Every structure is written in C-alpha cells, then in structure tokens.
Structure 1
Amino acid sequence: MAEQHTPRSLIVTLYGAYGRETAGPFAVAELIRLLGAVGVDAPSVRSSVSRLKRRGLLVAERTAAGAAGYALSDDARQLLDDGDERIYGRRAPELSDGWVLAVFSVPEAERHKRHLLRSRLGRLGFGTAAPGVWIAPARFHEETRHTLRRLQLDPYVDLFRGEHLGFAATAEAVGRWWDLAAIAKQHEEFLDVHGPVLRSWEACAGAPAEEAYGDYLRALDSWRRLPYADPGLPQELLPSGWPGGRSAAVFAGLHERLRDAGAEFVGAGG
C-alpha cells in the first residue's frame, strides 16, 4: 500500500519530532532541505508553511543568523505537547481509569459550530454514545479541555468523568460507540507499510542519518494519527486479535532505533 504524506502534515510532524528542541526557529532554507529529503519540493514547502502560518500554527521569526524562519506558535506547542502522551506513551489503559463524557448543545443559528465540535471530538478519539453525548477514556480530559478552549467551543460543552454502569456490557457498548473494524484496518495498514521497514533496520548494523531521518519522519507522520483514531481501550474491551499492540510495538521500535539518528541529519544543516 502506498501511503500519502502531505507537505503540510510532514511539516507539522517535523516540528513535533525535532522543532521543540531547537534553540530557535527553522530557517526557510532548512525546512526546504529537511522536507526535500522526504520528497517535498521547495514550492510545496513554501505554500504549506504559509497555510500553517494563516492557521496560527507557525509564526515568522528570524534565526540567530538573521535568516527568515518559522517557529511554533504557543497554541501549536500546546497541541504538540498534549499529543506526546498519546503518540509516544506506552502505558496500558485500565478499565478503572473511567471515562470522560462531552455533552454539548449548540443553538441552531450556530450549527456550523456544531459540525466543528463533532469533527474535533471525533479527531480527539471520542466515540458517540448518543446524540450530543460523546465518550472517551478519562485520560483525554485535559487535552480535550485545551482543544475546546483554543477553538472557543467550550461555552457549548460540559465535561463529566465517570464509569459505565450498563445496561449492556461495556465490551458490547464500545462496539456501538466506535467503529472498531475501521480502526483495526488502520493499524493493519500501518503494519503493512512500516513493519518491513523496522525489520530492514533490525538487520542493519547502523543507521545512516539521512535514511534514518526519512524513514522515521514518514513513520511518525503515519503513526501520529492512529492514537487519535484509536482511543486506546483496555484490552478486555477489544476484539480478539486486536492489532493495536503490534502496530504500537512497530512504531516504538522505529522510534528507538531511528529518532536520534534522524536528529543528526536535522542538526547537520545548522
């Protein structure tokens, strides 16, 4: 399966992986070099950076050498910081963690905000328990709070924490709240593409910096969406043979083997 990596997504992934540890902004020329290594041409980099600036995720700044560059906005940094636990965390979820409920009501005159709210909750990994009632594991409540405030959607939502008391068994109910078959397919697709990449690196004695950077950035760009599509349910609530653990192990293996070697390539242009 051929994966699609958009220039805009790869830029966000680059900043998430390496941009928060640099002393200053990435110079535009450096962004062109780093994105060129994964097949993105210079005009696409420039246009994507402009879009990210308009969306408030990047801000124009001069580098220490006086070159034009871009740094993360405060909102973008918060968004990436919130995502770290999902993307890199390996803590096994437990049923005793409980749930967070988002209960919302949007006036008909502002129905465009209703669509935005549903879309954003879905992208945060919430499932639909009932019309206007969305559910997710309780550990997502702070990230949800940050996101809704950033989008000025918080006046329409109440958040609750609690446990599921029936009447249906929780394992049965989650099959209504989330499309588990579609989520499992995304895990299998990740495994199909990146499992062979990990096996190839495991057979290598070293990790050449540019190749490590390219494979890691592509893997992270694919992986970082999965912990949002998949809410990370406790094992006892999942169908047998669930592929989520296997795909998480593949990403963890690539992260451990390639991330620091890729940082050498990022730093080589500084």
Structure 2
Amino acid sequence: MNTRSMIFTLYGDYIRHYGNKIWIGSLIRLLKEFGHNEQAVRAAISRMSKQGWLEGEKQGNKSYYSLTEIGLKRMEEAGNRIFKLNPETWDGKWRMLFYTIPEEKRNLRDELRKELVWSGFGTMTNSLWISPNQLEDKVYALIKKYEIEEYVDFFVASYDGPHENWRLVENSWDIQQINEKYNEFIAHYSQKFIIDKNKIKSGAMSDAECFVERTKLVHEYRKFLFIDPGLPEELLPQKWFGSYAGSLFSDYYKELAEPANRFFEQVFADGNEMTLKDKEYDVLSHPLMLDKE
C-alpha cells in the first residue's frame, strides 16, 4: 500500500471526522504503524499538496494539513459512488452512452472513460457504454463538465432481444472475475476475522494492531468501488459473493472499530484539537456498510 493511497484512506476514514486537519507529526506517527517512514510521508504530502489535494498551514513551529475543496469533493464523490455496491431496484431500462470524440481530444476521451468506469458503466464496444442503473444525472454532469455535447448521444431504452438481458452483462463486464475477487476477499478475511475477534476478546490484540487491521480492511474493500458496477440483483449470477463479502466487511469493521479509534485519538490528541471532532460521528458506522433497502 503506497503512502499517498494510505493518506487518502486516513483522511476518509478518520481525519475528516476530526476537523479535516492534522499535524504532520501525528500523520507520520500513524503511518509508522504501516511501515511508512517520515521521509516517505513528507514526500507524499508534498506531492499531494502540489496536485491540489491538500493544503498546509503553520501554527507556531508545526505544520498542519487539510483536504482542499477539491480533496473534499473527491471524498464526497467517493461516498456518492458507494451506491454501486448498493444498487436501486432495477426499472428494466438500460442507459446507453455513445460518443465519437476526435483523436485530437484523446486526453479528454481517456478522462471520460475513467469517469464512466468509476461510475459503473460497462463497454459493449469502444465507444458504446451501458449501465442498468439510473445514472442520467451523472451522464449529463459529465457531458457538461467535459463540454462534449456535439460528440455524444444518450439513450434510455429496453432490450428487445433476441437474447436475454444477461447477455448484455456478459458482453460488457467480466462478472466472473469480479465474483472471484469477492471470493478471494472472503477467503482471506473470514479466517482473519475469527482470529482477530478472539484476540480482541482475550485482550491479546492491541489498539494499534486494531487500527492497522481496520485501515487495511477499508483500504482493501474500497477497491471494489473501482471494479463492481453495482448491478441490480436481477442481473447478477445466482451464486454472487458480493453480498456475503459486504456482510463480512461490516462485521469485521465493527469488531475493530472502537479499539482502532481509541488508538487514533490517542495519537491525534497530541498536537491536534480534539474539540473539532464531529459530534455526530458514529465510530461503528461506515458508508461502505449502507443497507440495500
């Protein structure tokens, strides 16, 4: 897990609930638990600041860093995109986006592709993207953002055969591979969950170790946001491991949450303002555990 990615995880899972600002000394201390040294942390913070994700401020001889508006928006978008793992009831319609963006705008085309994949679209052909989810607002926001009105056409339509809707899924996503990834997650974490649960109950697992495991757990499970399009139940394989993986994540997270947060607060209290903590923050909840109802 690279340092930059871990910093994003810590801001998303902890720091944003504590005023969205942290002394770099505390960040260095937290990342030390994962084997990241001070030099790596400072280098990552410098890069993230130059890229516009973080902004620094001096208080006395201490440097504090917080997410910029762009960084906060990134976190908000990630939260909104979690719907991919919690799809709405399907209305039977397909959203189809067709574009012909010229070669001289290749960079724009590449950016649009990344956004479409991240939003849960699949590709039937290089320029034809589909999704069963109600993404009309997202599509029109992308068209406006990239100013590509003259290059796109957007349809909301029913599939009228000659095959079943499942055929469209097979042609547009590698569902088997995604299902295998979920199964790998389950195989790895189901055993760890039982071991760590017993350790916590017997007092054999420290708060620092819980902090490391909770952060790693979120970091790994969040990867499904990039690969799982969040298809409606009607379009999923009969043996779908995504639901069980979600339940496992929820149970494991709740087991680790309180001791992990104790360790974070212990480190954070030295050099930071604890009064900035969000009073509505529930340590046992996480956006990735949203119910499907």
TM-score normalised per structure 2 = 0.78
Structure 1 residue 32 and structure 2 residue 28: aligned?
A: yes
Distance 1:61 1:192, change over 3 A: farther
Code of the aligned partner of 1:107: P
In structure 2, the partner of 1:236 is 234
Displacement after TM superposition at 1:268 (Å): 1.0
Structure 1 residue 155 and structure 2 residue 148: aligned?
A: yes
In structure 1, the partner of 2:248 is 250
Displacement after TM superposition at 1:111 (Å): 1.4
Q: Deviations over 1:51-95 (max 9, x none)?
A: 2222221122346x7621211111221221222255499746422
In structure 2, the partner of 1:220 is 218
Distance 1:252 1:166, change over 3 A: farther
Code of the aligned partner of 2:192: V
Instruction: Name the SS of the counterpart of 1:134 in structure 2.
Output: strand
Displacement after TM superposition at 1:114 (Å): 1.5
Aligned counterpart for 1:104 among listed residues 70, 89, 99: 99
Aligned counterpart for 1:165 among listed residues 159, 165, 174: 159
User: Contact 1:58–1:76 at 8 Å: present in 2 too?
Assistant: yes
Instruction: Name the SS of the counterpart of 1:96 in structure 2.
Output: coil
Distance 1:184 1:148, change over 3 A: farther
Displacement after TM superposition at 1:123 (Å): 3.2
Structure 1 residue 57 and structure 2 residue 50: aligned?
A: no
Code of the aligned partner of 1:153: Y
Aligned counterpart for 1:177 among listed residues 152, 172, 179: 172
Instruction: Name the SS of the counterpart of 2:57 in structure 1.
Output: strand
Larger deviation: 85-94 or 51-60? 85-94
Code of the aligned partner of 2:208: E
Displacement after TM superposition at 1:218 (Å): 0.4
Larger deviation: 180-189 or 212-221? 180-189
Supply the distance in 2 between the matched residues of 1:61 and 1:139 (Cα, whole angstroms). 41
Identical residues among aligned pairs (%)? 25
Is there any run of 5+ residues in structure 1 with no aligned partner, and where?
none
In structure 2, the partner of 1:259 is 257
Displacement after TM superposition at 1:172 (Å): 1.7
Relative contact order (C-alpha < 8 Å, sep 6+): which is higher? 2
Displacement after TM superposition at 1:98 (Å): 4.7
Aligned counterpart for 1:114 among listed residues 87, 109, 115: 109
Supply the distance in 1 between the matched residues of 2:143 and 2:26 (Cα, whole angstroms). 33
Displacement after TM superposition at 1:244 (Å): 1.0
Distance 1:155 1:190, change over 3 A: same
Larger deviation: 240-249 or 83-92? 83-92
Supply the distance in 2 between the matched residues of 1:148 and 1:16 (Cα, whole angstroms). 28
TM-score normalised per structure 1 = 0.84
Supply the distance in 2 between the matched residues of 1:80 and 1:171 (Cα, whole angstroms). 33
Distance 1:140 1:27, change over 3 A: farther
Displacement after TM superposition at 1:217 (Å): 0.4
Distance 1:238 1:88, change over 3 A: closer
Structure 1 residue 19 and structure 2 residue 15: aligned?
A: yes
Distance 1:232 1:110, change over 3 A: same
User: Contact 2:97–2:152 at 8 Å: present in 1 too?
Assistant: yes
User: Contact 1:14–1:217 at 8 Å: present in 2 too?
Assistant: yes
